[in-house]
């Protein structure tokens, strides 16, 4: 797998190797520019696209606004409905309507649209 930032090789490592603790997942990591992406459990299938620090931060902000729609005791809807909202707000098909797939511009757009949808400033 190639890093989309520096075009170096992404190394496949366990969470224990990378973080020093076993979280039951693996990662693809570019040690040159710190881009990385986690995997589904202990498998090799990436959860999304590799992200550098800036994109990881944007994705965390997007998740902090999106997840309360369908997670926690104050949730507004179920997971399936929440992802349909994402698809509608972003005009994306289901297979790519995932924050882990968003690039920087998509994250910015989603954050703005989600704040408006939720009535936040």
**Which among 50, 44, 57, 39 has a CA at the least distance from the CA of 8?**
50
- The reported pLDDT for the residue numbered 121 is 78
With a cut of 70, list the residues of the chain below it in pLDDT: none
- The reported pLDDT for the residue numbered 52 is 98
- The reported pLDDT for the residue numbered 97 is 97
SS (H, E, C) 30-94: CCCCCCEEEECCCCCCECCCCECHHHHHHHHHHHHHHHHHCCCCCCCCCHHHHHHHHHHHHCCCH
**Which among 35, 14, 36 has a CA at the least distance from the CA of 25?**
14
């Amino acid at each position: 797998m190639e890093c989309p930032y520096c075009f170096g090789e992404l190394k496949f490592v366990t969470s224990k190797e990378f973080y020093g603790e076993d979280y039951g997942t693996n990662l693809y990591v570019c040690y040159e520019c710190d881009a990385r992406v986690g995997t589904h459990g202990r498998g090799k299938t990436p959860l999304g696209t590799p992200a550098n620090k800036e994109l990881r931060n944007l994705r965390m902000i997007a998740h902090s606004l999106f997840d309360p729609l369908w997670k926690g005791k104050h949730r507004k809807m179920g997971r399936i409905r929440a992802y349909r909202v994402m698809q509608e707000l972003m005009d994306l098909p289901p297979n790519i309507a995932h924050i882990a797939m968003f690039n920087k511009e998509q994250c910015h757009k989603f954050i703005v649209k989600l704040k408006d949808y939720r009535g936040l400033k």
